[in-house]
Amino acid sequence: SACRTAPIQHHASWASRPDSWRLDTVLAHVGTGTDPATGAITTPIHLSTAFGHPGLQQSTGYDYTRTASPTRDVLQDALARLDGGTAGFALTSGMAAVQLTVTALAPHGSRIVALEDLYGGTYRYLKGLADDGAYEVDFVVGEAGLHQALRRPAALVIIETPTNPMMNELDIAEVARWTHAAGALLAVDNTFYTPVICRPLELGADIAVYSATKYLAGHNDVMAGAVVVADPGLGERVQYQLNTTGATLGPFDAFLLLRGLKTLSLRMQRHEANARRVAEFLRADERVVRVLYPGRSGMVSFELARGLDVAAFLGAVRVFTFAESLGGVESLVTCPAVQTHADVPPATRVAYGLTDQLLRLSVGIEDADDLVADLRQALDRAGTTA
Ligand SMILES: *Cc1c(COP(=O)(O)O)cnc(C)c1O
């Protein structure tokens, strides 16, 4: 029942997908063949929150939706498969996934080592835990900071690669070695790269964490989070905590995420090709003093020269929308200092290069010429360099 520890459920349909299938085939077939009774090509949305029992001490495998849902199970099996993990979990948001990672895997009072330039919401959450005395949290800068901090024992290490919005890439395999030597587990927030570009578990990480609201879902129309673990024992801990605390993804949202995943690989190819064009254009423009693009995925940060008016730029864009998310088919532009990273103290963010003139683009799948033309005219409206 929902009150006891529930074993991790796998959907029977997944057994029909051979291990030899490559990523694009797995993605296109996410959710197919899940309903033998009708042959439905896509996954049925099972809204029932309760499931009838065949008899005393008997279950169809489904009792209550918080514990297990047939629609969510199909999604969770897909998430596990995409990352090469033993179990995947779908949650109500990326922040729920971050919180679950901490509470399921780091004992109360233990030491957490985290990058300082994490997603603003993750920074805020961890800072709050530290301020409340619930955990000892050390915020560090870059690989050098992680290496130094992991000379002392810890329970959990949380990183993002590339970092947001500074786009610094970290060597996951190296960080995993330091992490394990310190007796800790490594959680990698892989929201920006997705399993199409990077598979953290294969590089030694213990947990991959996602805001599935972003690229995984990909259409700016569903909020979700995901956690994938390598070790079955960790999976049991995550399952226990998730079933107990309740942030499991609902069936409608699970369906939307399944639907989004089918085109993930295609979308990432186009996001990346467009981002390359945009980065090239920005690098050649004297009104832009810095372009941060790691060469993969669709996220590009850049800094407007002094004298250029950020508000005028944001007011002028037409193909891009001034909005604070990323990873959807539509291009968005964000000003991290006042939006996603407003909770990071100004001195902290400026020290790592996040100035008020820094803008972050989520480059969508539109025509690259239209994207470049839009940026050019917005730069014209932003004025001239000081
Ligand atoms: C958006 C985001 C989150 C938080 O996810 P939500 O779905 O908004 O709760 C966490 N990490 C990164 C890198 C993000 O971009």
* Each residue's pLDDT expressed in tens, for the chain with a length of 386 residues: 444 456 777 776 666 677 888 999 999 999 888 888 888 889 999 999 999 999 999 999 999 999 999 999 999 999 999 999 999 999 999 999 999 999 999 999 999 999 998 998 999 999 999 999 999 999 999 999 999 999 999 999 999 999 988 999 999 999 999 999 999 999 999 999 999 999 999 999 999 999 999 999 999 999 999 999 999 999 999 999 999 999 999 999 999 999 999 999 999 999 999 999 999 999 999 999 999 999 999 999 999 999 999 999 999 999 999 999 999 999 999 999 888 888 888 888 888 888 999 999 999 999 999 999 999 999 999 987 66
Picking from 230, 262, 294, the residue at the C-terminal end of a domain is 262
Q: What is the pLDDT of residue 343?
A: 81
Residue 162 CA to ligand 1 centre (angstroms):
13
Task: Say if residue 21 is in the same domain as residue 76.
Answer: yes
Ligand 1 contacts CB of residue 119 (under 6 A): yes
Task: Say if residue 272 is in the same domain as residue 249.
Answer: no
Q: Is residue 50 part of a domain?
A: yes
Task: Say if residue 88 is in the same domain as residue 146.
Answer: yes
Q: Is residue 6 part of a domain?
A: no
Q: What CATH number corresponds to the domain at position 339?
A: 3.90.1150.10
The CA distance from 364 to 175, in Å, is 31
Q: Where are the beta strands (DSSP E) in 39-85?
A: none
Task: Say if residue 254 is in the same domain as residue 269.
Answer: no
Q: Is residue 7 part of a domain?
A: no
Picking from 262, 287, 322, the residue at the C-terminal end of a domain is 262
Ligand 1 contacts CB of residue 190 (under 6 A): no
Task: Say if residue 232 is in the same domain as residue 357.
Answer: no
Q: What are the Cα distances from residue 288, in Å, to 18, 69, 278, 308, 330?
A: 49, 49, 12, 9, 23
- Hunting for tokens 């009150």 — which residue is that? 3
Q: What CATH number corresponds to the domain at position 201?
A: 3.40.640.10
Ligand 1 atom nearest 325 alpha carbon: 1
Q: What is the pLDDT of residue 159?
A: 98
Q: Is residue 127 part of a domain?
A: yes
* Residue 313 CB burial class (10 angstroms; 0-12, 13-18, ≥19): buried
Task: Say if residue 209 is in the same domain as residue 122.
Answer: yes
Ligand 1 contacts CB of residue 9 (under 6 A): no
Task: Say if residue 110 is in the same domain as residue 250.
Answer: yes
Residues 6+ apart with CB under 8 A from 1: 63, 64
Task: Say if residue 118 is in the same domain as residue 224.
Answer: yes
CA angle 12, 15, 18 (to 5 degrees): 160
SS3 label, residue 138: strand
Amino acid residing at 238: V
Ligand 1 contacts CB of residue 211 (under 6 A): yes
* CB-CB contact of 212 with 90 (8 Å): yes
Picking from 262, 282, 314, the residue at the C-terminal end of a domain is 262
Task: Say if residue 343 is in the same domain as residue 303.
Answer: yes
Q: What is the pLDDT of residue 1?
A: 42
Q: What is the pLDDT of residue 12?
A: 66
Q: At residue 82, what are phi and psi to the nearest 5 degrees?
A: -65, -30
Q: Is residue 2 part of a domain?
A: no
Q: Is residue 1 part of a domain?
A: no
* CB-CB contact of 173 with 204 (8 Å): yes
Q: What is the pLDDT of residue 14?
A: 63
Ligand 1 atom nearest 212 alpha carbon: 7
Task: Say if residue 100 is in the same domain as residue 121.
Answer: yes
Q: Is residue 290 part of a domain?
A: yes
Q: Greatest CA span in the chain, whole angstroms?
A: 78
Task: Say if residue 221 is in the same domain as residue 363.
Answer: no
The CA distance from 116 to 113, in Å, is 9
Question: Residue 254: which domain range?
Answer: 12-262
Residue 122 CA to ligand 1 centre (angstroms):
8
Task: Say if residue 188 is in the same domain as residue 276.
Answer: no
Domain count within the chain: 2
Q: Is residue 5 part of a domain?
A: no
Atom 4 of ligand 1, nearest CA residue = 94
The CA distance from 118 to 159, in Å, is 7
